[in-house]
Structure 1
Amino acid sequence: MAQLTDDCFAFSGDLLPVDEALSLLTKRLTAVVGTETVSLSQARQRVLAVDVIARRNVPPYDNSAVDGYAVYHADLNADAETVLPVRGRVAAGHPLNGPAGHGEAIRIFTGAPMPDGPDGGPDTVMMQEDCREEDGKVTLLPGIKSGSNRRKAGEDVGEGDLILKAGTRLEPQHIAMAASQGLADLEVYRPLRVAVLSTGDEVFEPGCDLPAGAIYDANRHMIAAMLENMGCSVQDKGILPDDEDSIARALAEAADENDLIVTSGGMSVGEEDHICNVIRQSGELNFWRLAIKPGRPVGMGQVKAGDGRVVPVFGLPGNPVAAFTTFTLIGYPMVQVMAGQENCPPRRYAVVLDADYKKKKGRREFVRARLTGRDESGLPKAVKHGASGAAIISSLVGADGFIDLGEDTTQITAGTVVDFLPFSEVLR
């Protein structure tokens, strides 16, 4: 388990482009979680901690890819039917008892081991649809290539191959690969422990009566759900009042019990934005002024845990869309690295803008958009969805992802090909 440094978020400068922020994060952060061994049934969505090297070939022996007849290709007529006696039967799990000789066919079924014999044994399998068996003999059609329908040992995986790379977030296909090697368990990283909290006297828990001038806490539940999708162990620290003593106690407790703290609201410089002062007093605070819209300065800080660990604090904006956007772009890769997962930037896709759009120069804009079909060339079409405000949650609900517009872009017209970041790339 690695230890973060006190200055892992240090940055000096004005507006910071998103790509530079991501580069700084990936260079300065490292995995901070220990490892444990879990069974295959518990391994899905966990992050693999060590490379897995193949211990055996897959398949372990030459076998048939179809139901049919195993023969020596040299015994077949090139231009006419061939008739051979059927001398045995091979099914999966039941090898032929003895060698197969030239001049005979062996009835074989999918997955069954190819019989042994002279010259390496039969080398070709004729599908049963191309054969006729009568009175203990089989008639085979001409034209089949040598080696057809024969799966060779190790054609999928060879002994000694790297089959699963450390840092892989395990999905069903990875579980299948491990199982094919006879592995009953895997060494994985422990889930990243993340404390999530909100601040503000005006913020209330859903389900309660809402006083005048108050709002329900959407951000904390949204961010917790995003973290849980990533396999994190989330500790809900609730809503903190605008009181420095309460915030200081909550941050200290969260640091002792977690690897990362994610806050929402209270990160500005107003009189009631106390969380900044608390972080400064107990650790270090860096504001990253990201050149993005929606979004505003993102608080990146560190506090010391009782055991001496440096625990990062990621302070999100209070507006839900801004919080969603900054967590998607910055929090997602940050959590990936800290959790031991290989940093895999979410894939973007080419789409065609379905309407004209204007923006200011100097900020990278992430426009909530929905897909509306395809153009004549087959590319998906995307159109801005909902109002542009950083607090308009409905613009997220009806959208499929972000249109990604660069800092230098000011005006684009319908029909322009642009980058599109689907929510499905990060909300999984």
Structure 2
Amino acid sequence: MSEQIKQPLKTASQALEILLAKAQNVKETELVTVQDALYRVLAVDQVSHVSVPPADNTQMDGYVMRAADVKEIGAVLPVSQRIPAGSVGVTLKPGTMARIFTGANIPDGADAVVMQEDCEVLTQPNMEGLDYTVRVNQIPNSGQWVRRSGEDIQAGHVVLSKGTFLRPQELGVAASAGITHLEVFRRVKVALFFTGDELTLPGQPLKPGGIYNSNRDTLLACIKSLGCEATDFGIVPDTLESTRQTLRQAAIGHDLIVTSGGVSVGEEDHIKPAVSAEGSLDMWQIAIKPGKPLAFGQIPKGSSDQTWFMGLPGNPVSSFVTFLLFVQPFILALQGRKNRPLQRFPLKANFVWTKPDRRNEFLRVRINDAGTVDLFANQSSGVLTSAAWGDGLIDVPAGTKIAEGDTVHFMPFSQFFN
């Protein structure tokens, strides 16, 4: 019998390329109010039917005038009208100015605003606040302190495009264009379960040889932070049949199944044979640390429909890091979000790393007050406090040593959520 040829491990970039090539965003959409659209993904382009601002207006409280009427500092002009925000003035008479307040429309015939701090009232206004004179202590330029019509949004233009992730600022843009409802993709539905007879839920007594299941709360929080609907199938007994049965149940009504544990090659690791028996397993091991074992495949949920499957390692840091690097971008693709490459910021190392691995390493670090990065002392894949302590990861290529002061590539945790 010939020996099976051992396949080379995939790099992180190769694995992610495979994942994103297969992911297709959900098709179903729903119409929601702007207030209910927070952290959803826009399904259609939004065109504004109004310009913002709709007319030229002033950025400042002050006086609006013709710039050509003020040829020298100290010019004195009479105030012919008063224009509060929300009202429309009349055409400005040559040689006069108007008192104007922030947000008010620029009247016809005027082209510049001088702040009230640069003007000096010389005579008292009448009962209507008019017919007084003002000295202008600045020579204005045409267009000074004037917001132009449509400088933010132009009528007929796309103001928010399909695939936009709707944060508070995008909802404000929609509101400024007068939009009340947005068509968004439905939420991605993710099923989650865990394998390992040693696992115990917090609040229950630990049995001999048991540990609390930290991955449950970590991964549920990660999934929910991305705006997904999450279904927790709990801890599954370490048997092949139990794993297969849960896979079949989880496939129904979900777009993605995520598991933690059981993806190694031990006798009690049943994820790989279970997924292979129920569906297909497309990917197996990745050349990263932490997180070498990573499974990806499909589970059928009907005659022609499939649910995606991603199996993560059981060690808590490995599970967390592989979620960030692979599950998170895969979910974004299912949601229909625009492609957003991970950011890596060059920072200086405030540590030394003298024992490089043959795999691409992702080390937990924190930015210090000097703007350099400190390394958590224990980088074991079982030490989850390293992730809670840290601000992010540094991406260390295989075989790379780090000396103090070297530039490292920092990936903040904040970019992975929302």
Provide TM-score, normalisation by structure 1: 0.91
CA distance, structure 1, for counterparts of residue 114 and residue 367 of structure 2: 48
Alignment of structure 1 residues 279-294 onto 2, 5 Å: 279-294=275-290
Amino acid in the other structure paired with 1:82? A
Q: What does the per-residue CA deviation read over 1:222-243, in whole Å, with 9 as the maximum and x for residues that have no partner?
A: 1110111111111111111113
The runs of 5 or more residues in structure 2 that have no matched partner are: 1-5, 125-131
Are residue 103 (structure 1) and residue 95 (structure 2) matched? yes
Displacement of 1:171 after TM fit?
0.9
- Does residue 60 of structure 1 match 2:82? no
Q: How many residues align?
A: 405
1:40–1:175 Cα contact (<8 Å) kept: yes
CA deviation after TM superposition for structure 1 residue 54, in Å: 2.6
Q: Is the 1:386–1:394 contact (alpha carbons within 8 Å) kept by the matching residues of 2? A: no
**Deviation for aligned residue 1:356:** 1.5
Per-residue CA deviations over 1:130-174 (Å, capped at 9, x if unaligned) read: 112223122212422122111110111222333222222111111
Distance 2:213 2:303 in 1: 32
Shift of 1:245: 2.8
Identity of aligned residues (%): 40
Report the equivalent of 2:213. 217
Indicate conservation of the 8 Å contact 1:287/1:297, yes or no. no
Conserved 8 A contact 1:48-1:166: yes
Shift of 1:415: 0.8
**Aligned equivalents of 2:178 and 2:279: distance in 1?**
48
- Work out which of the residue numbers 363, 366, 371 in structure 2 matches 1:370: 366
The 5-angstrom pairing of residues 6-405 of structure 1 reads 13-76=7-70, 78-96=71-89, 98-116=90-108, 121-133=109-121, 134-135=123-124, 136-306=132-302, 308-360=304-356, 362-374=358-370, 380-405=371-396
* Shift of residue 272, structure 1, vs aligned partner: 1.9
C-alpha displacement of 1:93: 0.9
Moved over 3 A (4+): 359-362
CA contact (8 A) 2:24 2:334 kept: yes
The code of the aligned residue for 2:372 comes to: K
Query: In structure 1, how many angstroms separate the alpha carbons of the residues matched to 2:217 and 2:209?
Result: 21
Assess if the C-alpha contact under 8 Å between 1:63 and 1:113 holds in 2.
Answer: yes
Partner of 2:398: 407
Residue 7 of structure 1: aligned partner: none
SS at match of 2:54: coil
CA distance in 2, matches of 1:203, 1:33: 37
- Relative to structure 1, the CA distance from residue 142 to residue 271 in structure 2 (aligned partners, 3 Å threshold; closer, same or farther) is closer
Q: State the AA in 2 paired with 1:85.
A: P
**CA displacement at 1:344 relative to structure 2:** 0.9
Q: Secondary structure at the match of 2:41?
A: coil
Amino acid of the structure 1 residue aligned with 2:183? E
Match of 1:8 in 2: none
Query: For 2:112 and 2:61, how far apart are their aligned partners in 1?
Result: 12
Match of 1:5 in 2: none
The normalised TM-score by structure 2 is 0.93
Structure 1 residue 397 displacement after superposition: 1.7
Quote the Cα distance in structure 2 between the aligned partners of 1:216 and 1:148: 65
Aligned residue identity for 2:146: R
Kindly report the root-mean-square deviation, in angstroms, between the aligned alpha carbons of the 2 structures: 1.6
Shift of 1:296: 1.7
> What runs of 5+ residues in structure 1 fail to find an aligned partner?
1-11, 375-379
Contact 1:256 1:307 survives alignment (8 Å): no
